[in-house]
Chains A and B, each alone.
Chain A
Amino acid sequence: MSDIAAFGGGAPAASRGDARAGSRSGTFALAGVLNLAIVLVAAQACWYVFFSPTGLVRLYTPNVGVALVIAMLMSIHWGKDVFGYWPLSPAFLEQAHPVKRGLVLSVVSLGLGALVMFVFYDNLLGRFGPVFLSGPMLAASGGLGQFALTAQENGCFAQIMLNTCVIFCTMGWLTALGGAPWTDDKRLGRGLGLFSTGLLLAALAFAVFFYPHIAYQFYPAQVFMAAEPWWKETAMTMSSVFHFGWMVPALVLFYWTDLLWEGRPWSLIGSTWLRGAVMAAAVVAAGVVLMHAGNAIMDWYWDTEAFIGGATIENPAWRWNHVAEMAMFMHAAAVILALYFGNGPRFSGVAARALFRTAVAVLGGLALAWLYYELGPVLLGTVPGIGQEGDTSLCWTVMLLILMTCQQVFFRGYPFGRNDD
């Protein structure tokens, strides 16, 4: 199995109709169940130790926890998908014991994420450049409202949005263009090309989609620094969470292209650059459509519409964020299907397989969301109900995705094996 299967960029062997994988489907299923059980136990332990409001470290403030897991997800993408594990040798990657390999890759990836957040953003970039990226520097500024907790949450909010742009642009480029124009380069050269391009595009995306929010989150509004949020009429809110609401579903579509759909339908376009352009435009458009469709479904489900200035489930910004939350629940279900259950039964047609897997991901995501909200108050220390300001399931779902990647990709499915081993 490709090591980039977890988030896109390669389907599991079983999903490609591998005969060997097919003959071992029963074993896969059992190994998948056992491995998944281990990951869920690890998720509960990690949540309690690092995030839970009733736990030990209590990083779910909420934004510190969300920012940290997204920074770690970004660093996993850099190490795994962008740099192909450079500078680790192919021999180490292939031959090292899964535990040794897993520990090295996990510690480096997760450590890099923490380093990006707590050192790079909080104490370097935020100190010498854009202060809004650093909670400690915002608090040190002493400005009105930039008190300890608010400053921390605001700094983390900016990091979450910037990192989301980085992940979206990097993985979008990788999925749409397959690493072009650095396809033939060595890992370092290819990685630097993808890394730099991802950062450049992310900086532009952040400037247009999120920076106006940042400038208007201070009092008085920093009107010379950014345009007034230009989306407010369409979004029913000045909040840039509106853009988060289409970007995350679109990112999930990028992920699913290789994870569930075996590259279709985009692989039908022969020209790399044409394929990339069509795919990028279509995925962004689909993200916007999914966001509005999600909002319409919420209108129907709760029998109430979001409106300008509304709160809880009537708050447009909360609605847009909830679309992103639901997309990540569905992506978590897709990853479970792909990594732990070999992408399910293998039909003869690609379209049928893709449809089936998509249906499983959507329904599985709904089931996961239901479990999250039902069991959250008992297992995660959350308050019963939905629509709490600031509260978001993204911290838990992204943490789960990270743990599944570590277990299946870094530890190669240890201890019960991976579906292509």
Chain B
Amino acid sequence: MKRRKFIKGMAAAGLAGGLTMGGGGLVGMAKAAKKADIGQCKSLKVTCVSETSWFDSPTMLKDIKDAGGAMVSHYEIPWTQENIGGYSALIEVELLDGTRKKILLDPGWRQDWMDYVFAKSGVDKMLDNREIDMLVLSHEHEDHYWALKSVLKHHQDIPLVFPNTFYPEGKLLMEGKYKNDLAKVENDIPHTGERVELGPNDLYNPYPGVAVKMFDIPILLRVRGEQNLFFNVKDKGVVAVTGCCHQGVLTMLNWARRNIDGFKPYGVYGGLHIAAFENWDPKFDDIIQGVKGFGLRKVGCNHCTGWIWASKARAQGVPIVCGTERYREYKTLPTTGKGAPENVYLRNGDVIEF
């Protein structure tokens, strides 16, 4: 990996120079006096490697309920193994000079499922061939992080970007020193590559037009902190790519509006963590209104967004991009959205371009 630059401290002094790793930048945003110029990229393509972290919501919820509810640590829940899959997205970004970069967002959850979807999408070969430039871990949740071994066994020293709020178990997993027979998570392959650990005041800018922002927030199942990627696509606008988006889709976009120079909303891809288990709450209606107000052009959602939120939002005019039938080619199918008149999720194997 090329050395990348961190720009630190738009804080009191406005822009401070690159601190460490040449190339992009890490911008201190805590009390930023100026907006960050993250540059521009030419285009963006996101492939849904897997959005099925779990195949059946009632089973997933029963596992959580039986363990004591949403405040219990995910490391203390005996998950129903046949119900779990994982979340991972392959991001291909073309820079203005024509260079192409590949970023893998999250390694997923159950190793055999992730091995399967990596093979199906060609990610395994890309990892073997060192074609993927970095692995971004959105957050520590089981379904986004626990199959780290499925990546490391192909590319042990892949550059890694992760929030600085991981719990000790998560750090041990990264070191290849963690095994938990209750929750069924293990990794004995230590990550040996470069690591970029982001705090809430940092904005990591590895390539022009690409930025990673971490939000220090408390999350259910005893997890802390989540980060997402922003892409500033020339002539289009800013696209946010998320893992679970516990920071909230509108809070994330609102942050970008306040902190990214020249922000123009364009699109979103990923889990939006709204009606994650097909539950509903009146405040989810608020989010539909808010997203409509932002004027996004493309919303590609899946995973923890909630099928019913996506359906309701699409009915009310949010530009939800519908998926294909490609997910039916996968060996396990989700129960979500079964029998629905249209596919409001970008599901396994689907691609969206911005």
Q: Which residues of A contact B (CB under 8 A)?
A: 53-54, 58, 60-62, 64, 144-145, 147-150, 152-154, 213, 216-219, 229, 232, 236-240, 307-312, 314-317, 381-391
Contacts and interface: CB of A to CB of B under 8 A. Distances in A.
A53 B222 contact: yes
A383 B289 contact: no
Contacts of B215: 312
A53 B71 contact: yes
Given A60-B69, A310-B254, A384-B218, A237 B280 contact: no
Interface of B: 57-58, 61-62, 64-65, 67-73, 76, 165, 215-220, 222-224, 246-251, 254, 275, 277-283, 285-291, 293, 308, 312
A147 B278 CA distance: 9
Contacts of B67: 58
Given A308-B293, A309-B290, A382-B218, A53 B73 contact: yes
Given A229-B282, A309-B286, A387-B217, A149 B68 contact: no
A310 B250 contact: yes
A315 B290 CA distance: 11
Contacts of A213: 282
A149 B63 CA distance: 9
Contacts of B224: 383-385
A145 B275 contact: yes
Given A240-B282, A307-B250, A310-B248, 12 more contacts: A60-B69, A147-B279, A149-B61, A219-B280, A239-B286, A308-B289, A309-B250, A310-B254, A383-B224, A384-B165, A385-B217, A388-B217
Contact of A148 (B62, B254, B283): B62
Pairs A-B, 3 closest by C-beta atoms:
A311-B248, A309-B290, A61-B69
Contact of A61 (B70, B248, B254, B282): B70
Contacts of B286: 232, 236-239, 308-309, 316
B251 A148 contact: no
A308 B57 contact: no
A309 B281 CA distance: 12
21 contacts: A53-B71, A54-B72, A58-B68, A144-B308, A147-B277, A148-B61, A149-B62, A150-B279, A236-B286, A238-B283, A239-B286, A308-B286, A309-B291, A310-B251, A310-B290, A312-B248, A315-B283, A383-B222, A385-B224, A390-B220, A391-B71
Nearest to B278: A145
Contacts of B279: 145, 147, 150, 154
B61 A147 contact: yes
A384 to B, nearest CB: 6
A344 to B, nearest CB: 35
A289 B219 CA distance: 31
A152 B277 CA distance: 13
A35 to B, nearest CB: 30
A104 to B, nearest CB: 31
A381 B248 contact: no
A384 B222 CA distance: 9
Given A308-B293, A309-B286, A390-B70, A383 B280 contact: no
Given A307-B250, A311-B250, A383-B218, A217 B70 contact: no
B71 A144 contact: no
Contacts of B69: 53, 58, 60-62, 64, 149
Contacts of A150: 61, 277, 279
Contacts of A148: 58, 61-62, 65
Contacts of A216: 280, 282, 285
B290 A307 contact: yes
Contacts of A390: 70-71, 220
